[in-house]
A and B are shown apart, each in its own frame.
Chain A
Amino acid sequence: MTTASNPAPDTRLAASAASRGSGPAPAPDADGNNPEPGSGTRRGLSERNRPLWMLIPGGVLMIVVIVVPLVLGVYISFLDLDQYSLRQWLSAPFVGVANYIEAITQSGILRSVWLSVSYSALATIVTLPLGIAAAVATQNKYPGRALVRSIFLIPYVLPGFVVATVWRTMFQPSGVISITLHHMGIDPGLFLNGPNTYWVLVFVQIWSSWPFIYLLALSGLQSVDHEVHEAAALDGALWWTKLRYVIFPYLRGPISLAILIGMLNHINNFTLPFVLFGLPAPNDIEVLPYLTYATSFESFRFGLSAGMAVVSLILVAIPLFIYLRAVKLDDAETPGGRK
């Protein structure tokens, strides 16, 4: 996370400052002083003796809740762990990267990765303009705005399980969607089996996740100062010019965060495809979480599926890494964060 360029003591300060998130952190500067350990300048005291120990409870919890299972998961991915060796799982045969090799050569994981990434990207690309448009539409006051805003949030607050169940019912062969299309003279074929499933998954994902983009875009819009609107009006900017050159730059931060989190949510989404299509999955939507789940809990290949889980972790870590780098750069350039 931190660039370990200099091993000087202030690396730790920078790290702790970064870990506090995007709050208005004072830029840690050495100020010419070199705060040696034990040296007694006042400034050094107040910064160096900050009660870092207070991080310990959180740190321990993080180790117990995140680090230990993660390390175990990675370790299990090197074991030939299945229902036969589960009982003495620590003595399950160590097979090195065999699980990874099997995952890549035999399990169809590459196809699953492609399905996951493409479906996730498609859903994100479509939700983006929807969310921004909705945010812009509810930015200015008008009668009933509160109601519209609440309605917009409905898909987001519904649990994924409910969303998937309702759509599954509607997409059934004799369900309301097929019947409606049939009356319009269109024969769409099956929605819950076969090639259409991919598009159904993308569609339902869009339906349930666009309000997230909307929320973040709205928060971005709220941070635009009144003066900026005034200045734009004085300069005679028309609505599109204003939107494009004045407002959108304000949205860049929140929107890129929304894109990132949206992508990750979609890639990790298991509930939606599982409830929509059940098990065994139609081949066309065998996304990564699905494959991992089936390998683990249908075939009981825990080692293999741990390997798959590690692969998907790496997959989601890539955009995360890029984003964190970007955020940190922003932070360093403009202390206090972008307004």
Chain B
Amino acid sequence: MRFGKKAALASIATAAALALSACGGGTSGGNSSGGAVNGAGKTLDVFIGKSTTFPQQQQQWMDDTAATFKKNTGADLKFETFSSGNDELTKIQTSAVSGQGPDIYALGTTFTPTAVATGAFAQLSDSDWNALGGKSKFNQSALGISGPDKDHLYAVPFSSRPFVMAYNKNLLKAAGIDKPPTTWNELEQDAKKVNDPSKGIYGMSVGYKDGFSPWKYIWAFSEQQGQKLVDGKNANIANDTVTNAYQTYFGWLTKDKVVDPASVGWTDSQALANFASGKSVFFPMTSISSEVTLDKSAIKDQYDYALMPTSINGSNPNGGTPVASILSGDNMGIASYTKNKDLALAFLKQVTDKDAQINYQKLFGDLPTNQEALATFGSAPHMAGVTDAAGKSYATPFTGAWADIQLALVNVVVQSIPDLSSGNVSDSNLSQRIKTAQNSAQQSLSRAK
């Protein structure tokens, strides 16, 4: 009996110790005691997305960045990577709850409002901005999704991937068109001119089944027509502008027939593959990351990027904005629990300086958010349209409800795909689905704090 009790206690203690040590994993090696700006002996933990397209370059970039950081501050730099947005959210959740984890997170632009809503990121003060080189060193439009307004910024713009339209120069020229379209109407007409289904050539490649892409069209159409999808606490989705936006988007397939009918099953990467095989003239809503695929494709000498259309017919009614793209790319946020804020600012200064940003572009293709660095790329091949778009990118609404709204907008397309495939999305079905989207967006906005 006595032995039993002792052993019981011992095993409880062991198990408890095991459990505790398991929970303790994931602390950064940072020294908790405060100290000088000099970071000798400290480690800064940075959490960034894993690059599947450029794994070697990314490793090289991490090593180089860490070496420079060590030279500048004396501190070590440790990178952790995540492979999906979900990975990252889980990490933010657990770190936010436990108050320990990475010091810096790379945040996708449209994910930034959600991440900020968790309260896991501290607002950046003026002195913080000065420490990392001042707000003025950034492309000003890139700051648009760093916080809800100019005076409340939580994240530092790091890289930019504006959305553009890839087009096939040869096919366009063959149809007697000398420059890419600048309005949605022109796009439709040009696409019709090139369209030749009997030869398997279509006007556009569109990924209707993509889980992200569709909402960007709807957002752009609405902004250009002066209709904000989110107005304070109100969702503004069930209206004629949005309905027209969906009708135009679906109409390319059902009415204009300038899209391959198979595209109801395509994600964006399949649509890109279709465009890369020379079977269409336009691939709208893509980014510079498609360059990797296109440069290896049969049309590597025939493609270029242009601005997405910025209006329906040349003007933006109701005070609409000629948006070419959402603000897309990566921000970096400093965790509010960090004990290495000085180091974090030093790191952000280092990676957003001109030369580092130019180097990053050369490795990964993402555009700089540093104004001076950005200016050097306008003349590089394929870059004119892209840098142009970087200046004409606008922020999506900065609300914690945005993830839900995005999902609701895409859901309209997902549920319409069977109709789309049969050749007609009826007005009643569409308005029913838009109503559903409106409700779920409103529900989410009403909860927003």
Decide: B11 and A57 in contact? CB cutoff 8 A.
yes
**Which residues of the partner chain A approach B11 to less than 8 Å between Cβ atoms?**
53, 56-57, 60
The answer to whether residues A299 and B407 also contact, given A53-B8, A57-B14, A87-B97 and a CB cut-off of 8 A, is yes
Within 8 Å by CB of B1, from A49, A189, A192, lies A49
Decide: A87 and B96 in contact? CB cutoff 8 A.
yes
Cα distance A219–B179 in the bound complex, in angstroms: 71
Main secondary structure of the interface of A (DSSP, over half): loop
Decide: A278 and B114 in contact? CB cutoff 8 A.
no
A225 CB to nearest chain B CB (Å): 43
A interface list, Cβ under 8 A from B: 49, 51-53, 56-57, 60-61, 64, 82-84, 86-89, 172-175, 189-190, 192-195, 278-283, 294, 297-300
B211 at the interface (CB under 8 A from A): yes
Within 8 A of A (CB), among B1-42: 1, 4-5, 7-8, 11-12, 14-16, 19
Q: Which 6 A-B pairs have the closest CB atoms?
A: A194-B418, A173-B265, A60-B15, A193-B417, A87-B119, A280-B411
What are 9 A-B residue pairs whose CB atoms fall within 8 Å in the complex? A53-B11, A60-B12, A87-B120, A190-B417, A190-B421, A193-B417, A279-B211, A299-B404, A300-B403
B15 CB to nearest chain A CB (Å): 4
Decide: B400 and A194 in contact? CB cutoff 8 A.
no
Cα distance A86–B440 in the bound complex, in angstroms: 21
The answer to whether residues A195 and B421 also contact, given A49-B1, A82-B447 and a CB cut-off of 8 A, is no
Q: Which of A49, A51, A280, A297 has the most CB of B within 10 A?
A: A280
CB nearest to A294 among chain B residues: B407
A271 CB to nearest chain B CB (Å): 14
**Which residues of the partner chain B approach A300 to less than 8 Å between Cβ atoms?**
114, 400, 403-404
Q: Which of B14, B16, B414 has the most CB of A within 10 A?
A: B414
Decide: B404 and A298 in contact? CB cutoff 8 A.
yes
Cα distance A175–B422 in the bound complex, in angstroms: 17
Cα distance A195–B419 in the bound complex, in angstroms: 11
Decide: A84 and B418 in contact? CB cutoff 8 A.
no
Decide: A89 and B449 in contact? CB cutoff 8 A.
no
Within 8 Å by CB of B262, from A60, A174, A279, lies A174
Cα distance A83–B119 in the bound complex, in angstroms: 8
B292 at the interface (CB under 8 A from A): no
Known: A56-B11, A57-B14. 4 other contacts (CB 8 A): A53-B11, A86-B96, A190-B264, A294-B407
**Which residues of the partner chain A approach B264 to less than 8 Å between Cβ atoms?**
173, 190, 193
Within 8 A of A (CB), among B72-119: 86, 89, 93, 96-97, 114, 117-119
B201 at the interface (CB under 8 A from A): no
Decide: A57 and B15 in contact? CB cutoff 8 A.
yes
**Which residues of the partner chain A approach B392 to less than 8 Å between Cβ atoms?**
none
B202 CB to nearest chain A CB (Å): 14
**Which residues of the partner chain B approach A64 to less than 8 Å between Cβ atoms?**
15, 19
Decide: B265 and A60 in contact? CB cutoff 8 A.
no
B411 CB to nearest chain A CB (Å): 4
